[in-house]
């Protein structure tokens, strides 16, 4: 009997991998604890399961490297791969899809927005492009779709851990901060998995020049390319290295100079000054203030697109028309009073300190009534509070894991008023409804009620999207019942 692929986890990506493999006549086995499958997870982790019959394990990225079945497969010499690795393998085996351009984006924050921006640029340029991967659209089917000539791929650190042969045309790391360290076993392992996107990149390596750790990874990749070029008789890929920065760019970078996006990279453009940053109206506050983290995402997407050969004017125009997807700095309600207005802003995607800091930093001092807290994932928030306390007028703490946030506020910003939403009261009134009402009582004209929790959502909500939707619902309800 031919060896089988073992797919562990039948979510969207797992089911897609199963369907693609079966359509090719491959033998497929499945394992899942929550959906109908051939095996339970404990069954493929015990000694009686025979890995000699398995040619590869395709694992959901949720399973840690220390999970029993992964250790057992590895000991048996069976490759454990991601759906991205599978997609790349199948893509390369298909003569009709080998010419697909693959653009990969990873990083701690900004991956989804940058992927969406890049995909918008590709489509504006006439490419048959799809945003896939960690963004929600499975990559295994897209990688063999002959109707697609370009894939913009969001890559999580989990996916990259189980991916080793990927050769992207253009690759980017948006930023790096402490995240998922328990899964990876420390920051160095986390960064090393992220850095795999630069391995064997063909056209462009894009890096955040304002992030020292990302810059080091890019320079290490550059040294490797230069070393391979000097040591190999055959031609090697020599991508252009492009740093993006919110500062005045140095040679080799794209950045901002005197209010203009400026290209000083090796990428050819008709002129150095490309566009005023004020022309990107979807990335700004109503008064025209640019959100720094969204501008950084735009510069990253621009660098990737130019590296892929897209016309500068097409790329700039697409970015000027781009609007971020839901739950990313999105005004969901506005309360108009006789003295001014209070805006309710949903940034539920800010699920860690790095993202929350970027969000808070976008607003004026003492203007933010902040909804924070949730599932802390072992994080501590001292640096977040120390650097952003000037922005916070008051804080409303939600979640079942409140103590780390309470401690940070008490230690580093005791002057900030804090309201705690007791998780035990959820049965009598929805948690987010309580939070919105508390914020509305604390807010004054000109303030922003910002939901950027710095924590995961799964303690009290289905997902960050559910958390954001509930915030929007109760904010709109409150505004509608408090018309002056």
Chain segment 200-221, per-residue pLDDT in tens:
999 999 999 999 999 999 999 9
Task: Give pLDDT tens digits for 17-33.
Answer: 999 999 999 999 999 99
User: 92 labelled as ligand-binding?
Assistant: no
pTM of the model: 0.83
CATH 3.40.1190.10 location in the chain: 85-321
CATH 3.90.190.20 location in the chain: 330-480
User: 150 labelled as ligand-binding?
Assistant: no
Q: How far is CA 320 from CA 5, 275, 324, in A?
A: 45, 9, 11
Model pLDDT, residue 427: 84
Instruction: Give the model's confidence band at 269: pLDDT under 50 very low, under 70 low, under 90 confident, else very high.
Output: confident
Residue 257 — φ and ψ, nearest 5°?
Answer: -130, 115
Residue 232 pLDDT > 60, yes or no?
Answer: no
User: 259 labelled as ligand-binding?
Assistant: no
Among the CATH numbers 3.40.47.10, 3.30.70.890, 3.40.50.720, 3.40.50.1820, which is that of 4-81? 3.40.50.720
Instruction: Give the model's confidence band at 187: pLDDT under 50 very low, under 70 low, under 90 confident, else very high.
Output: confident
Task: Give pLDDT tens digits for 382-400.
Answer: 999 999 999 999 999 999 9
Task: Give pLDDT tens digits for 59-118.
Answer: 998 888 889 999 999 999 999 999 999 999 999 888 878 889 999 999 988 899 999 999
Residue 233 pLDDT > 50, yes or no?
Answer: no
CATH 3.40.50.720 location in the chain: 4-81
Task: Give pLDDT tens digits for 307-330.
Answer: 999 999 999 999 999 987 778 888
In terms of CATH architecture, what is 85-321?
Answer: 3-Layer(aba) Sandwich (3.40)
Token look-up 């958390």 returns 467
Fold that domain 330-480 belongs to in CATH: 3.90.190
User: 133 labelled as ligand-binding?
Assistant: no
Model pLDDT, residue 140: 93
Stronger pLDDT, 287 or 282, i.e. the higher one? 282
User: 110 labelled as ligand-binding?
Assistant: yes
């Amino acid at each position: 009997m031919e060896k089988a692929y073992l797919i562990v986890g039948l979510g969207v990506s797992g089911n897609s991998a199963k369907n693609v493999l079966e359509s090719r006549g491959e033998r497929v086995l499945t394992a899942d604890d929550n959906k109908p499958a051939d095996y339970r997870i404990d069954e493929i982790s015990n000694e009686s399961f025979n890995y000699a019959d398995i040619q590869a394990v395709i694992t959901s990225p949720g399973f840690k490297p220390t999970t029993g079945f992964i250790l057992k497969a590895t000991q048996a010499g069976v490759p454990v791969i991601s759906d991205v690795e599978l997609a790349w393998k199948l893509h390369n085996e298909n003569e009709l899809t080998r010419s697909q351009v693959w653009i990969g984006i990873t990083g701690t924050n900004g991956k989804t927005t940058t992927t969406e921006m890049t995909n918008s640029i590709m489509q504006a340029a006439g490419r048959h492009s799809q945003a896939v991967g960690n963004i929600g659209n499975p990559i295994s089917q897209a990688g063999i779709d002959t109707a697609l000539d370009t894939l913009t791929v969001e890559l999580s650190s989990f996916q990259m851990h189980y991916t080793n042969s990927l050769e992207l045309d253009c690759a980017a790391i948006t930023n790096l901060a402490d995240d998922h360290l328990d899964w990876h076993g420390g920051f160095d392992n986390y960064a090393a998995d992220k850095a795999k996107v630069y391995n064997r990149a063909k056209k462009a390596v894009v890096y955040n020049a304002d992030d020292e750790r990302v810059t080091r990874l890019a320079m290490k990749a550059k040294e490797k390319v230069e070393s391979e070029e000097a040591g190999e008789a055959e031609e090697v890929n020599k991508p252009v290295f492009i740093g993006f920065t919110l500062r005045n760019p140095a040679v080799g970078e794209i950045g901002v100079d005197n209010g203009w996006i400026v290209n000083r990279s090796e990428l050819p453009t008709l002129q150095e000054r490309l566009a005023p940053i004020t022309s990107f109206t979807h990335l700004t506050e109503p008064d025209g203030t640019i959100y720094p983290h969204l501008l950084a995402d735009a510069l990253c997407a621009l660098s990737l697109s130019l590296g892929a050969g897209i016309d500068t004017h097409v790329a700039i125009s697409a970015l000027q028309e781009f609007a971020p997807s839901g739950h990313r700095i999105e005004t969901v309600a506005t309360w108009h009073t006789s003295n001014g207005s209070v805006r309710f802003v949903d940034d539920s995607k800010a699920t860690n300190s790095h993202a929350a800091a970027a969000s808070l930093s976008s607003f004026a001092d003492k203007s933010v009534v902040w909804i924070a807290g949730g599932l802390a994932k072992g994080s501590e928030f001292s640096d977040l509070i120390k650097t952003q306390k000037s922005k916070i007028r008051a804080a409303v703490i939600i979640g079942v894991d409140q103590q780390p946030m309470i401690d940070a506020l008490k230690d580093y910003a005791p002057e900030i008023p804090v309201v705690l939403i007791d998780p035990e009261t959820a049965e009598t009134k929805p948690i987010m409804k309580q939070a919105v009402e508390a914020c509305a009582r604390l807010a004054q004209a000109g303030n922003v009620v910002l939901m950027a929790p710095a924590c995961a959502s799964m303690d009290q909500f289905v997902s960050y999207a559910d958390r954001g939707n509930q915030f929007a619902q109760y904010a709109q309800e409150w505004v509608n019942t408090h018309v002056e």
